[in-house]
């Protein structure tokens, strides 16, 4: 087999990978890492969305919410199925791990306490998912994942549309629903910003990029998410700590990342600057709903396998 350096070069030149026999150990490790984060994030979005889906304000809305959950379980299943091809045990991954061993994005360790938060999660977090997976779909060197993401991408567009439709309704319905929506955006927007991880200048090297498992850097993806989310949030006249900077020709935050988050009260402390190591500790320590959500999955209350 070629050296890893040569292998990376071939991947950058467009080589596609179909099976484990073609991978170096480094490639396999990097692929497993991103697939696990992806699978866990998809799976844990299901219990996160569950309670408030049952509280949706109409039968129609409830049906849409439940079908989103069903999709998310399917998306998790796809990632775990791909991990199985790489030698992992799917049953063990879903049922055999402790809650703190899950690698889902921090956003799905939070309690979603009302319908406004649920639809904002669809509008902002599903958008983050689309941004990340859209990049993988377009650019990845791993052919089986690329093929599987065709179905996932279509379904994610539906989740996003559902979220944005309801966010618009809540914004225009009454002062009360508008306030609930703004409260949801207040804590969820910075979580969306953090979703894309460390800034590029803090990341020494990125194996997933070097192996072209994904195509865009964290900052590029964050900017993509901002450039798609911001016009919508601005149209709804919601307050967010970011704006378009004409000079730099990009969206900029009105605070310096990273900042402290009071997870129990869902409040960002804009005056409390922390380090990225602190953020990683917060993520690794998991958020307040982590155990509840993993238990919900593992107890079989939500059907995991179709």
127 binds Fe ion (CB under 5 A): no
Q: Examine residue 117 and tell whether it contacts Fe ion (CB under 5 A).
A: no
Binding of Fe ion by 164 (CB under 5 A): no
Would the CA dihedral through 56, 60, 62, 68 be positive or negative?
A: negative
Q: What CA–CA distances, in Å, run from 206 to 4, 22, 42, 167?
A: 14, 20, 23, 35
Distance CA 118, CA 189 (A): 13
Q: State the minimum distance, in angstroms, from the CB of residue 42 to Fe ion.
A: 5
* Cis-peptide, bond into residue 265, ω within 30° of zero: no
Nearer to Fe ion by Cβ, of 156 and 210: the residue is 156
Interatomic CA distance for residues 42 and 213, integer angstroms: 18
Tokens of 32: 């497993």
- Interacting stretch for Fe ion, rule CB under 5 A, among 153-161, 168-176, 235-243, 255-263? 153-161
Whichever of 9 and 147 has its CB closer to Fe ion, that residue is: 147
Cα–Cα distance list, 106 to 1, 192, 264 (Å)? 38, 10, 13
Nearest to 191 by CA among 234, 240, 157: 240
Q: Of 29-37, 39-47, 183-191, 261-269, which segment contacts Fe ion by CB under 5 A? A: 39-47
Quick note: the x/- pattern for Fe ion over 48-87, rule CB under 5 A, is ------------------------x--x------------
CB of 156 to Fe ion, least distance (A): 5
Give backbone dihedrals phi and psi of 270, rounded to 5 degrees, phi first. Answer: -65, -20
Smallest gap from residue 89 Cβ to Fe ion (A): 22
Nearer to Fe ion, 72 or 194 (CB): 72
137 binds Fe ion (CB under 5 A): no
Q: By the criterion CB under 5 A, which residues form the site for Fe ion?
A: 42, 72, 75, 126, 156, 159
């Amino acid at each position: 087999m070629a050296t890893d350096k040569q292998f990376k070069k071939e991947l950058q030149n467009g080589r596609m990978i179909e099976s484990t026999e073609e991978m170096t150990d480094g490639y396999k490790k990097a692929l497993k890492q991103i697939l696990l984060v992806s699978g866990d994030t998809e799976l844990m979005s299901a219990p996160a969305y569950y309670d408030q889906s049952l509280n949706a304000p109409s039968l129609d809305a409830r049906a849409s919410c439940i079908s989103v959950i069903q999709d998310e379980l399917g998306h998790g299943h796809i990632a775990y199925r791909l991990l199985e091809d790489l030698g992992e045990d799917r049953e063990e991954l879903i049922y055999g791990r402790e809650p703190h061993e899950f690698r889902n994005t921090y956003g799905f360790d939070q309690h979603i306490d009302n319908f406004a938060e649920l639809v904002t999660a669809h509008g902002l977090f599903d958008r983050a998912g689309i941004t990340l997976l859209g990049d993988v779909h377009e650019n990845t060197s791993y052919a089986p994942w690329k093929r599987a993401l065709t179905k996932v991408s279509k379904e994610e567009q539906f989740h996003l549309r559902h979220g944005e439709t309801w966010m618009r309704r809540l914004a225009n319905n009454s002062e009360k629903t508008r306030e609930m929506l703004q409260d949801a955006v207040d804590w969820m927007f910075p979580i969306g910003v953090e979703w894309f991880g460390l800034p590029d200048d803090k990341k020494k090297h990125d194996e997933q990029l070097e192996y072209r498992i994904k195509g865009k850097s964290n900052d590029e993806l964050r900017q993509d998410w901002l450039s798609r989310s911001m016009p919508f949030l601005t149209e709804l006249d919601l307050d967010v700590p970011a704006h378009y900077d004409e000079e730099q020709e990009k969206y900029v935050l009105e605070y310096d990342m990273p900042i402290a988050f009071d997870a129990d009260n869902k409040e960002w402390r804009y005056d409390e600057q922390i380090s990225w190591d602190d953020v990683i500790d917060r993520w690794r320590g998991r958020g307040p709903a982590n155990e509840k959500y993993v238990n919900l999955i593992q107890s079989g209350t939500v059907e995991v396998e179709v």
